[in-house]
Chains A and B, each alone.
Chain A
Amino acid sequence: MLRVTLTADSLLADLQTAARIASSRSAVQALSGVLVSAAGDYLELQATDMEVSLRVRLSASVEEPGEVVLPARLLLDIVRSLPGASVTLAERSDHHDVEIASGNAVFAVRTLRRDDFPRLPEPPTGGVQLAAQAFVDTIARVARSASRDDTRPVLTGIMVHASGGELRMVATDSYRLSVKTTALDEAVSDSFEANVPARALQELSRIVAQSEADHVTIGRLENQVVFAVHGAGGPATISSRLIDGQFPSYQQLLPESVEHELRVDREELVSVTRRISLLAQKNAPLRLAFAEGQLQVSAQTPDIGEAHETLPVPFHGEAFEIGFNPEFFRDGLESVDSPEVLLRLTSPLRPGLIESADESGFVYLVMPIRLGT
């Protein structure tokens, strides 16, 4: 008969993550719940949508151990609005509910069926250990390129590859492709490669940010991957089904050589792109016209208007114009964090590359839009 007291703030922080992971549209009601269990001196929250799962522990004063499933969203809303600094959860089995008390406020919330809630994988013992900050920074650089189109599941993942002193992540939605290679301070003990749903990695990023953990431990169980972090609050794991199917072999997609390689001030190109993109509405492309010593960025939307701006760039050779989806182009520029970017281009119908100019190992490939006249 669960009875436990803890600080409302710490519960709130982890419930937010749990409520996001809990399924919002499953036929099984228990999947919209969070499994709350108390044992020893901690409370554990578990949530899953059968693809991505979360287990997180936080310290609590446990009077009686036990476990219950409560509706995640409602529990979150309640905890967020509690008047007191601490909260007590007490199961009342004769009522099939849990009393949530804080200050003078008391809620009694019906529990969901425990039996319908699946057993989640235990945190792995052993596994590959990586610096947490390097890991989430790498996610941040490629996540935008992952596809959100569920009809191509293999592209909704981020390919994570760690071996030796190197971590690499790759994502593509077929219109752009991001590759970030990060040098690790400590070499990994074992190599690791998997196509992980981008969603799981984004949730992991949040947990790391919240927990200020130093390390992420990655373990594999059959078709599952489990990320464990040990932060200030307590241990947390995100596990996820791995994505089936062959991830595109990205090396073959990156051009080996290009015709033009231009070093451009990133900030300047980003602001020009932002400004001119205002007139690239209704799917109109952003046009980049290169000529001796200069780049003209322009856009026009029928019935709306047009805009252009010229900036000096070290371009030599035969002039040409290439079109890009403005958002894709800007995403690439914004994912670079060096003061200068390398624009590497060949011709109007060949992929464009945006790379960091400081050899920090970031490459963003963006496919052009075929321009009319």
Chain B
Amino acid sequence: MIAHLDIDAFYASVELQRHPEARGLPLVVAGSGPRAVVTTASYEARRYGIESAMPAARARMLCPQAIFLAPDFAAYRAKSREVWEIVRRRFAVVGQVGIDEAYLDLSDVERPLPALRAVVAEVHEKTGLVVSVGVGPSRLVAKTASAEFKPAAFVAMGREQASAHFAAHPARTLQGVGPKTAERLTGIGIRTIGELQVAPAELLAGRFGERQARLLRARAHFHDDSPVETERIAKSRSSEVTFPRDVSDRSELEATMIDLARELADGLRTRALRARTVAVKIRLDDWTTVTRARTLACFVDDAATIGGTALELLRAYAPARPVRLLGVRVAAFEDEHAPAPVEGQLALPV
């Protein structure tokens, strides 16, 4: 599960904090040159049709009474750091994609929605900023959802739900469909996401080529498997599976564990990571959830060692009830350098 967090009208909100007298009035942050564009506009200003990236001159025409401020990026960066620092303290994987938005990988968070509500509340309390949250099985669903329901959005959607909900939206709503693509789609009579969903494959392929046609269709159905990219190395990686029905058969559990380990090892290799701690997660039919971990003598990235260790841990635990979920995780990556010497750390005279 993935969450997309987006700070509502970020620059404008920061400016409103610094200029409380502008509260409730249309506020536009824009440069002052002749070619300047609108960096952001408060929700009040957006009611006049002012949008980000619109020429500032046009914004002045649409709403001459709006308050225009020059952007102060140093202030925005400082505020942005405050926000993401709070988020990072609560979530391990934060892929920040801009000054005001980030993705979280929630696969390892036990109760993600309460955790997200708590972080939104903390950000609001400490910084006065409002964060919109979209949650979904992919980045695409998460981001589309948060964008659709902001400001102050808090919405979780499944893939099918998203496909149905956004069917009437313009194709441009989809991330990855830019103005050019949208124009070409219009050229073959496709305006909405719903129309793209049912567009004949040959028609799309004829206009965009096999590959991009397939991508477009997948996007229209909200299929997206891009992982959350972190600018920092994730602290752990895991793969897990919830069985369609609870499983007691040991050989089936073990075979699943081997598959999970292989999947995980492949992921490690593509990222050139090696880990030293292998852990398993087992959830029984009564929701008892246990984890067992072992730290190895050396760093590993191969399915045989990870799977073998995971199997030993599974066998040692010997689930007494049918198993609902099985997972394997690795942590303690090689690239994490030895912790930097701490202030006051004494050293041997070597």
B232 within 8 A of A: no
A332-371 residues with Cβ-Cβ distance < 8 A to B are: 334, 349, 351, 365, 367-371
Residue A203 lies at the interface, judged by CB distance under 8 Å to chain B: yes
Cβ–Cβ contact A368 & B348, under 8 A: no
Most buried by A among B339, B340, B346: B346
* A contact residues around B299 at 8 Å (CB): 202
Q: How far is the CB of A321 from chain B (nearest CB, A)?
A: 13
Which residues of the partner chain B approach A371 to less than 8 Å between Cβ atoms? 344
Chain B 338-350 per-residue mask, 1 if CB under 8 angstroms from chain A, else 0: 1111111111111
For the A-B complex, the count of residue pairs with Cβ-Cβ distances under 8 Å equals: 80
Complex Cα gap A147–B300 (Å): 18
The chain B residue sitting closest to A139, CB to CB, is: B297
A98 contacts the other chain (CB 8 A):
no
Please give the distance in Å from A249's CB to the nearest CB on chain B: 9
Flag if B348 contacts A325 (CB, 8 Å): no
Residues of chain B with a CB closer than 8 A to A13's CB: 304
A210 to B339, CA, bound (A): 31
Whether A174 touches B297, Cβ cut-off 8 Å, given contacts A16-B302, A147-B338, A323-B344, is no
Q: Which of A77, A172, A205, A365 contacts B298 (CB 8 A)?
A: A205
Q: B195 → chain A, closest Cβ, in Å?
A: 38
- Given the interface pairs A202-B299, A206-B305, A209-B305, the reply to whether A148 lies near B346 with Cβ below 8 Å is no
Q: Does A288 contact B (CB under 8 A)?
A: no
Contact between chains at A202 and B297 (CB < 8 Å): yes
The interface centre, meaning the residue of B295, B304, B347, B348 with most chain A CB atoms within 10 A of its CB, is B348
Contact, CB under 8 Å: A370 / B344? yes
Residues from chain B with Cβ under 8 Å of A367 in the complex: 345-348
Chain B residues, CB < 8 A from A155: 350
- Bound complex: CA of A323 vs CA of B342, how far in Å? 11
B337 contacts A by Cβ under 8 Å: yes
Is B345 within 8 A of A175, CB to CB?
Answer: yes
Q: Which of A155, A304, A370 has most chain B Cβ within 10 Å?
A: A370
Chain A residues contacting B180 (CB-CB under 8 Å) are: none
Cβ-defined contact, A148 with B338, below 8 A: yes
Q: How large is the interface on B (under 10, 10 to 19, 20 to 34, 35 or more residues)?
A: 20 to 34
Closest to A204 in B: B298
CB-contacts of A167-211 with B (<8 A): 172-175, 177, 202-203, 205-206, 209-210
Q: Given A13-B304, A147-B338, decide whether A206 and B348 contact each other with a Cβ distance below 8 A.
A: no
Given contact pairs A369-B345, A371-B344, A149 touches B298 in the complex (Cβ within 8 A): no
Asked if A140 CB lies within 8 Å of chain B CBs, one says yes
In the complex, A197→B289 CA distance in Å? 40
Is B344 a contact of A369 with CB atoms below 8 Å?
A: yes
What string of 1s and 0s marks CB contacts (under 8 Å) between B262-304 and chain A? 0000100100101000000000000000000001111111101
Instruction: Give the docked Cα–Cα distance between A148 and B345 (Å).
Output: 17
| A289 contacts partner chain B, Cβ-Cβ < 8 Å | no
Tell me the minimal C-beta distance from A132 to chain B in angstroms.
Answer: 13
Q: Which residues of B contact A16 (CB under 8 A)?
A: 301-302
* Contact in complex: A205, B304 (CB < 8 Å): no
B89 sits at the interface (CB 8 A): yes
Query: Are the C-beta atoms of A202 and B337 separated by less than 8 Å?
Result: no
Q: Is the CB of B300 within 8 A of A206?
A: yes
Point out the residue from A139, A172, A327, A369 that lies within 8 Å of B348, measured CB to CB.
A172
Question: A285–B343 Cα gap in the complex (Å)?
Answer: 9
Residues on A with C-beta less than 8 A from B305 are: 206, 209
Closest to B350 in A: A248
Are the C-beta atoms of A143 and B298 separated by less than 8 Å?
yes
Q: Count of A residues near B, CB < 8 Å?
A: 43
Give, as a whole number of angstroms, the nearest-CB distance from A16 to chain B: 5
Does A278 interact with chain B (Cβ within 8 Å)? no
With A283-B343, A304-B89 known as contacts, the answer to whether A140 contacts B348 (CB < 8 A) is no
The answer, among A20, A140, A149, for a CB contact under 8 Å with B297, is A140
CB distance from B127 to the nearest CB of A (A): 14
Q: Is the CB of A174 within 8 A of B342?
A: no
Report Cα–Cα, A109/B337, bound state, in Å: 35
Beta-carbon contact of B347 and A175 below 8 Å? yes
Nearest-neighbour CB distance to chain A for B90, whole angstroms, equals: 11
Inter-chain contacts of A202 with B (CB < 8 A): 297-299
Complex contact B338–A149 (CB within 8 A) = yes
Contact at A334–B350, with CB atoms within 8 Å? Answer: no
Q: Are B344 and A175 in contact (CB under 8 A)?
A: no
Closest to A13 in B: B304
Q: A266 to nearest B CB, angstroms? A: 15
Given A206-B305, A334-B295, A369 and B342 touching (CB < 8 A)?
yes
Asked if A6 is at the interface (CB within 8 A of a chain B CB), the reply is no
Please give me the residue from chain A that is nearest to B344 by CB atom: A370
Q: Select from chain B the residue with minimum beta-carbon distance to A140.
A: B297
B contact residues around A143 at 8 Å (CB): 297-298
Residues of chain A with a CB closer than 8 A to B345's CB: 175, 325, 367, 369-370
In the assembled complex, the Cα of A148 lies from the Cα of B347 at a distance in Å of 15
Among A58-96, those with CB < 8 Å from B are 77, 80
Contact, CB under 8 Å: B347 / A205: no
Q: CB distance A283 to B346 under 8 Å?
A: no
A203-B298, A205-B297 known; A177-B344 Cβ under 8 A: no
Residues of A within 8 A of B342 (CB): 283, 285, 325, 369
- A174–B348 CB distance below 8 A: yes
Instruction: Decide: B350 and A174 in contact? CB cutoff 8 A.
Output: yes
Cα A77 to Cα B270 in complex, Å, equals: 9
Residue pair B298, A248 in contact (C-beta under 8 Å): no
CA gap between A155 and B350 in the complex, in Å: 9
Is A27 in contact with chain B by the CB < 8 A criterion?
A: no
Q: For the complex, is A253 an interface residue (Cβ under 8 Å from B)? A: yes
The answer for the CA separation of A285 and B184 in the assembled complex, in Å, is: 60
Q: A175-B341, A304-B89 are in contact. Are A369 and B297 (CB under 8 A)?
A: no
Q: How far is the CA of A346 from the CA of B297 in the complex (A)?
A: 30
Question: How far is it, in angstroms, between the C-alpha of A136 and the C-alpha of B346 when the chains are bound?
Answer: 30
Within 8 A of B (CB), among A85-133: none
Q: What are 8 A-B interface contacts by the 8 Å CB criterion?
A: A148-B337, A175-B348, A202-B298, A325-B345, A349-B346, A369-B346, A370-B344, A371-B344
Given contacts A80-B266, A174-B347, A367-B347, 6 further A-B contacts (CB under 8 A): A175-B341, A210-B304, A283-B343, A285-B342, A325-B342, A334-B295
Measured CB to CB, the residues of B under 8 A from A are 89, 266, 269, 272, 274, 295-302, 304-305, 337-350
Binding site for B on A (CB under 8 A): 13, 16, 20, 24, 77, 80, 136, 139-140, 143, 147-149, 155, 172-175, 177, 202-203, 205-206, 209-210, 248, 253, 283, 285, 304, 323, 325, 327, 334, 349, 351, 365, 367-372
